Amino acid sequence: MLIFCIGAAFAAGAIGSAATFENVRAWYPTLTKPSWNPPNWIFAPVWTTLYVLMGTAAWRVWRTGPAARPLIVGYFVQLLPNALWSILFFGLKQPAWALVDIMILWGLLVWLLVNFWRTDRLAGVLWLPYVLWVTFATALNTAIVRLN
């Protein structure tokens, strides 16, 4: 189950990467971005780390038993808006639509954080970097929409 949870996160990432690959080089540089926009090279190692942490957190919650099953369903559900964000932002070149998506994602992530924390404290700790990164990404997405 650990491999399945981590693999599902990487699968969502692969879907997002497919939408991102070409436009991160061709279209994204043409956008006006805030001064605090991170360099492109940072995203791959950050997301790789987050996928492992996310999957491990979900696995820890899964191990707690049948009462945690709704949280595991929530884990897999949140992977949909996670992958969809890249499709909207990069694939369709629609940062405003992506902003709506990431706000929905953020709400799901906070709900999962609270419930992961209650179910397994270490799972909550492992989930927290993902919530923080998506919070940052939401601010960045908002800034890009405003500047463009």
Which token pair is 131?
Answer: 């919530």
Task: Report all structural domains of the chain as residue ranges with CATH numbers, in order of start.
Answer: 2-147 (1.20.1260.100)
Q: Look at residues 20, 53, 46, 37 and name the one whose alpha carbon lies nearest to residue 124.
A: 53
pTM value?
Answer: 0.95
pLDDT band of 21, cuts 50, 70, 90: confident
Q: pLDDT tens digit string along 32-58?
A: 999 999 999 999 999 999 999 999 999
91 contacts 114 by C-beta, under 8 angstroms: no
pLDDT of residue 6: 98
Q: Look at residues 132, 128, 104, 129 and name the one whose alpha carbon lies nearest to residue 116.
A: 128
Look-up: residue for tokens 């992530």?
Answer: 109
Q: pLDDT tens digit string along 90-135?
A: 999 999 999 999 999 999 999 999 999 999 999 999 999 999 999 9
